[in-house]
Amino acid sequence: MKRIGIICKLSRKEPQDILKELLPWLRQKGCEVFVDMETAAQMNIDGYERADIPSLVDAILVLGGDGTMLGVVRLVADKGTPVLGINLGSLGFLTEVNVEDMYSSVEQMLSGGCAVEERMMLKACINRAGSHIWEYVVLNDVVINKGALARIIDLETSIDNTYITTFKADGLIISTPTGSTAYSLSAGGPILYPTLGSIVLTPICSHTLTNRPIVLPDHVAMEIRLKSVSEDVFLTLDGQVGCALKTDDIIEIRKAQYKARLLVPRDKEYFDVLRTKLKWGER
């Protein structure tokens, strides 16, 4: 890998400080580097539009937290560009590499020593009054939830054209295995190994206590119709993008046609991440 893109968390000085040493180090390795426009402008160097970088490079380094990583993964998914995350945030489920391990991990990436881990993504579509009005692809989750002052909402749910139930709840979380350790976990959902081919459906504060999270195969197609008369219900994607829903809107959710490709250094194990981030074994 000789053409490396770098996309950084905005409004943070730390990535710029790191790049002052990382950029000359990469160039000494014979790499051509493509830094995102916003970061480059703050460093007075040439930069590239974020949307253009995936088509120009062999791999992308993300300097930021899981939120930055999610945005980059959505940006590159249809290009198949592999991504390595350097954690400058607080949690770091996706950006697994700590700053102190950055150079050894990037060295592995350049030499082809990193494993490429493929993660399934979801595609969410909104149909309103018979028209297809919105479509988006996510790595973590699709969330339907009510506003703070709204009443419990009714969500009529079908899987592969078979009616399942009408959830009376604060909302629903539909997550990938990667997203199982995000909002779904907080709502009582299970942890799934991230490379599994499964989808998790997790109710949020269900009015019926027997409505529990369910794990589904990744080939199913899900339809959720908002039955409540409310103007305070939202669809949120990866916790970053969203829109307001209207009564009788239908949200279609299914596996996306392409996968995220995450670079994993040889010394990184998923259970090490779980043990560290979730503090397993501590009292």
Tokens for 227, please give them: 């039955």
Q: How many helices (H) and strands (E) does the chain have?
A: 7, 19
Query: Is 248 an active-site residue?
Result: no
Residues 84 and 249: their CA atoms lie apart, in Å, by 37
Q: What is the DSSP string of 194-224?
A: TTS-EEEEEEES-SSTT---EEEETT--EEE
Q: Is 152 helix (H, G, I), strand (E, B) or coil?
A: coil
What angle is formed at CA 153 by the lines to CA 147 and CA 156, rounded to 5 degrees?
135
Q: Give the residue ranges of DSSP H helices in the chain.
A: 14-28, 37-43, 53-56, 66-76, 102-111, 183-186, 270-277
Handedness of CA 119, 179, 61, 108 (dihedral sign): negative
Q: Which of 17, 36, 46, 66 is catalytic?
A: 66
Which residues form the catalytic set? 66
